[in-house]
Chains A and B, each alone.
Chain A
């Protein structure tokens, strides 16, 4: 039914429908009688054949045929077979014919294709016959996925070589570069051939280069077609691993002012006291250190890991250097979550910390390793990517192609990541932030349906750019001095306001920040902020955050004292999108300790709808909160907040009693 174009029926057609339906019903009644009574005569099979030929989706009928065929075959005695050796063959031949007729009626019939597979598995038909049949169907519809699936089945069953099948996809692609199904099958076949190192497919470089030429041809022929681009993406991934290298940062960086504790930041799992060693004159043993992943899920993996060192006071010398050495012990224990670089037995560079150093602004340094092999691989990868880049720049100079722009932006980003990772102090290779930003703003304009996606990407690149050098970051840093005379606190505040950010990134460069202003952006979530363990003041006002559960990462910020979430969209969406997930709020895990018994309801105020806010705020130790300018922020809700957070001193600028 699904998939057939439909037009309003004429009266004649209506009549024909009725007649057809009546005929079908009578066939069905007869068939059920045969099926029920296990009658497998010629007549019965013919009725069944008529039925599946007019309704190929009738699985019961196909199953009856299998039973019938098995019954007939097993009832043939040996002597029958001697007198007529071809009788079994002719039975199965008839089955092949029935499926062909059913498929002619509906080539999307799962039941008919399945029945044919059953016949083939019994050893009947020939590869030529099947390929011929497929020829017909793939000519009718070159994207027929039943036919493509069946083709893979036949090729495997009849041991047709992958090379022959690859040639078939070449023919199909040459016929029409937009045949996505053919490209897909090509990727499956080529993977096999490369994996099995078949003659001519090893070493793989030559094959992949030729393949790349083929796909370039397709891309230049019809740049707006996705088929080639998806294939290109996959192919490039086979040629060079252009995943962003795993950058491992620690904070504070080498030679920095160390106060009481140390952060490690590893995009990994398995960080513990046996994989990371910390040596210092101030504490005795490494064994008791507990490393915790900073993550809102329970995967045991995180970008940032934290351990707290307790120093013995008598050993701590305030006026002199207290060096701390961080080394990686048994690197095998630590696994990168994403397989970006292999860890092997590489070592982390150690760093020492000294107090009273110049600037409060500290850059996290990527811990990296300059292995010769790595450098070679880097050069080869960078060169390949650079070639693709110049090719696509050329393509885009002639045509305005969305997916081409996206690919170019990604290639440039990948190249930049490689450059930054492998940068030596004296190299001055150019990075392409400006070009990438331009591509994404362009995409927002030419491809409005996906503008939100591009905007997120734009935000990430912009933040990368801002944090890429101390100079650019300093431009956004401000001193904040406490106005009260008793306080001598002076903070450095990073102000990233009015940048149209819809997403936060580059957190690894910002681990040192205590005060962050993200106001006047387009943020929906604060994902990633959990890594900023020193953060004590956060301004999120004038963003687009719509649900309290989006603030979940803040629960991990143990130093957070002041939070501004004014002028967001809390309470503005009557139906929270999360309600579309199956779990009801009341059996939601975070709601488990939501016990009305403990709550002396404040005169008739119903807190039933506050479970989401409760689950966030009960774990925050805020002294200051701004929430004005949100739909939800009426008086009753404020009363609720005061009750949930006894530590709160100021609410919306008003000092609480």
Chain B
């Protein structure tokens, strides 16, 4: 199915793994896992893994994870010349999320080399570069790293303490989290912060009922900020005074779920808002009445899953995928 995407997505060729993640994880959420060519998906994802030539290469500062798509993958150079390796944290997160979702046994992967080389991406301030050749560092990639470690059940790939310090330095004066220290609070940044802290075990599930005062982040302020993101039309906005947008129902809704504050969400109003964003062809758009896209469709269904919509599989909010354990039971 990921080969039949509308032309609009062609510019995003480098992000094929991300799109595949939306499609496959989304189908699982809808209980349509049988529509996925499981073997095909596994083989395709595995073909995008970058491999170090030898043990020595793992320390050369490069990251050996997954590539977004084949366009950033180079053929092996017989002369041993420098080969660009475009392994990206986000692609690696998506690759593992797909594999986990379709029930691939992740212990079959060479996780040692992923984790060992991933450590090269962590900076002294605790943040992560997404790619060894350098790019913007922010909370998104701490989240990817934490989710990768969590899915591989091995935390040797990152220094959790340092990552924690970086995350804490991103909490803004209003309680939300910006993507980098000093920046304005943002729904996505706040999700990355809270989900990462939860994955790393620095905050408990439902801290609101387990003593918010001893939590390492300012929970009451964060709760206030998050609740205020539900706008008058029932949807969630990413920042104050911005229009409600489908995807923030998931980003901010998940934060509230992790904190144990989801009981304060007006679920009825949110459901109504989301339905106005649902297209007659299926799928969700960013704003009401627009054309749907994969990104908002995935997070629209995720939001409905948070609302415990019948027929939609529960999700593991801090990983952003269907709750494999819950289905397995």
Contacts and interface: CB of A to CB of B under 8 A. Distances in A.
Contacts of B14: 57-60
B143 to A, nearest CB: 15
Residue of B84, B88, B184, B204 contacting most chain A CB atoms (<10 Å): B184
Given A38-B82, A230-B174, A114 B136 contact: yes
B183 A299 contact: no
- Chain A at the B interface: mostly helix, strand, loop or mixed? helix
A401 to B, nearest CB: 13
A430 interface: no
Nearest to B316: A582
B210 A297 contact: yes
Contacts of B28: none
B102 interface: no
B7 A18 contact: yes
A59 B135 contact: yes
Given A301-B214, A580-B323, A227 B241 contact: yes
A184 B174 contact: yes
A180 B241 contact: yes
A449 B323 CA distance: 28
B264 A450 contact: yes
Contact of A7 (B72, B269, B291): B291
B185 A184 contact: yes
Interface in B204-228: 204-206, 209-211, 213-214, 225, 227-228
Residue of A6, A28, A178, A267 contacting most chain B CB atoms (<10 Å): A6
A389 interface: no
A188 B182 contact: yes
A334 to B, nearest CB: 14
A5 interface: yes
Given A114-B135, A143-B239, A580-B316, A449 B263 contact: no
A63 B129 CA distance: 13
A2 B295 contact: yes
B184 A36 contact: no
A66 B134 CA distance: 10
Contacts of A66: 133-134
Residue of B11, B234, B265 contacting most chain A CB atoms (<10 Å): B11
Contacts of B173: 184, 187-188, 191, 230-231, 234
Contact of A184 (B172, B317, B326): B172
A63 B287 CA distance: 34
A297 B328 CA distance: 28
B293 interface: yes
A219 to B, nearest CB: 14
B185 A6 contact: no
Interface stretch (A144-152, A360-368, A622-630, A635-643): A144-152
Interface in A449-498: 449-453, 456
Interface string A207-229: 00000000000000000011100
Interface stretch (A78-86, A346-354, A421-429, A571-579): A571-579
A6 B314 CA distance: 30
B86 A113 contact: no
Contact of B329 (A3, A234, A302, A584): A584
Interface size class of A (residues with CB under 8 A): 35 or more
Interface string A177-212: 010110011011001000000000000000000000
Nearest to A179: B241
A6 B290 contact: yes
A525 interface: yes
B183 A149 contact: yes
Interface in B163-206: 172-174, 178-180, 182-186, 204-206
Contacts of A561: none
B71 interface: yes
B308 interface: yes
B319 interface: yes
Interface in A393-422: 403
B285 interface: yes
Given A38-B82, A184-B185, A63 B12 contact: no
Interface in A284-306: 295-297, 299, 301-302
Interface in A24-38: 24-25, 28, 32, 35-36, 38
Contacts of B184: 145, 148, 180-181, 184-185
Nearest to B150: A582
A132 B263 CA distance: 47
B71 A32 contact: yes
A581 B286 CA distance: 27
Interface string B20-61: 000000000000000000000000000000000000000000
A11 interface: no
A597 interface: no
Contact of A110 (B72, B86, B135): B135
Contacts of B148: none
Contacts of A21: 7, 10-11
A578 B209 CA distance: 13
B8 to A, nearest CB: 7
A449 B241 contact: no
Interface in A10-27: 14, 17-18, 21, 24-25
Contacts of B136: 110-111, 113-114
A24 B290 CA distance: 26
A448 B286 contact: no
B325 A580 contact: no
A584 B327 CA distance: 10
A530 to B, nearest CB: 11
B92 interface: no
B125 interface: no
A91 interface: no
B122 to A, nearest CB: 18
Contact of B315 (A110, A233, A580): A580
Contact of B7 (A5, A17, A54): A17
A32 B227 CA distance: 47
B79 to A, nearest CB: 12
Contact of A448 (B172, B228, B266): B266
B183 to A, nearest CB: 5
Nearest to A300: B214
A58 to B, nearest CB: 6
Interface in B227-242: 227-228, 230, 232, 234, 239-242
Interface string A228-244: 00110110000000000
Nearest to B183: A149
A230 B209 contact: no
Contact of B180 (A24, A63, A149): A149
A355 B8 CA distance: 83
B242 A143 contact: yes
B319 A582 contact: yes
Contacts of B88: 59
Interface of A: 1-3, 5-8, 14, 17-18, 21, 24-25, 28, 32, 35-36, 38, 54-55, 57-60, 62-63, 66, 110-111, 113-114, 118, 143, 145, 148-149, 152, 178, 180-181, 184-185, 187-188, 191, 225-227, 230-231, 233-234, 267, 295-297, 299, 301-302, 337-338, 403, 448-453, 456, 524-525, 527, 550, 575, 577-586
Closest CB pairs A-B (n = 7)? A449-B266, A584-B325, A453-B264, A63-B133, A234-B173, A230-B174, A184-B184
6 contacts: A24-B11, A60-B71, A66-B133, A145-B239, A524-B263, A581-B316
Interface of B: 7-14, 71-72, 74-75, 81-82, 84, 86, 88, 131, 133-136, 150, 172-174, 178-180, 182-186, 204-206, 209-211, 213-214, 225, 227-228, 230, 232, 234, 239-242, 247, 257, 262-266, 269, 285-287, 290-291, 293, 295, 306, 308, 314-319, 323, 325-326, 328-329
Given A63-B131, A188-B182, 9 more contacts: A5-B287, A38-B82, A60-B71, A297-B211, A301-B214, A449-B232, A450-B264, A577-B257, A580-B317
